[in-house]
Amino acid sequence: MAGNFRSTASTGAPLSTDRQRIDKWLWHVRVVRTRTAAAELATGGRVRVNGDRIDAASRPVRVGDVVTIALDRVRVLKVTGFAERRGDATAASTLYEDLSPPAERPASLPEATTIARERGSGRPTKQERRAIDRLRRGNDP
């Protein structure tokens, strides 16, 4: 066989190395945990390829395509490669370039502060609970 195809040992069907199904690519880059979830994401209209909304999980993506995914936040990924098998997170990160804007931190949350409870507010301490129990039973300390 000539061109960009090679035969797989298990099925004998040609395997393209210049494109891959969008659901399979989303699963390989670990956007979702299962390939079924990737297919549902694609058919649900939450994925765009080069700005065009897709409605089929079989839509092929090529190297250089920009994939926009709307999950809990919008992720913009540029396709840089494909994999035959799903690998670990470091292998998955080589398959895309993240073009997403940095996540916005809500203005209401402080950087890194601990919230201290004022005495007398919130849940009573063990010592305070014992004092309350003594008052309810009528026992003196």
Phi-psi region of 3 (alpha: psi -120 to 50; beta: other; left: phi over 0): left
Mean pLDDT of 81-95: 94
Q: What does the pLDDT read at residue 16?
A: 58
Task: List residues bridging with 134 in a β-sheet.
Answer: none
Q: What does the pLDDT read at residue 78?
A: 97
Q: What does the pLDDT read at residue 7?
A: 43
Report which of residues 63 and 115 the model is more confident about.
63
Residue 11 burial (CB < 10 Å; 0-12/13-18/19+)?
exposed
Q: Shortest CA distance to 61 belongs to which of 95, 94, 15, 22?
A: 22
Report which of residues 137 and 76 the model is more confident about.
76
Spell out the alpha helix ranges (H) of the chain: 22-28, 35-43, 89-92, 126-137
Give pTM, 2 decimals.
0.65
Mean pLDDT of 97-125: 73
For 33-43, write each residue's pLDDT tens digit.
999 999 999 99
Asked if the model's pLDDT at residue 10 lies above 60, the reply is: no
Domains of the chain, CATH where assigned: 12-98 (3.10.290.10)
Rounded to whole angstroms, how far apart are CA atoms 128 and 67?
Answer: 57
Which residues, at least 6 apart from 14, have a Cβ–Cβ distance to it below 8 Å?
A: 1, 5, 6, 7, 8
Which residues, at least 6 apart from 70, have a Cβ–Cβ distance to it below 8 Å?
A: 46, 47
Asked if the model's pLDDT at residue 22 lies above 80, the reply is: yes
Mean pLDDT of 55-72: 95
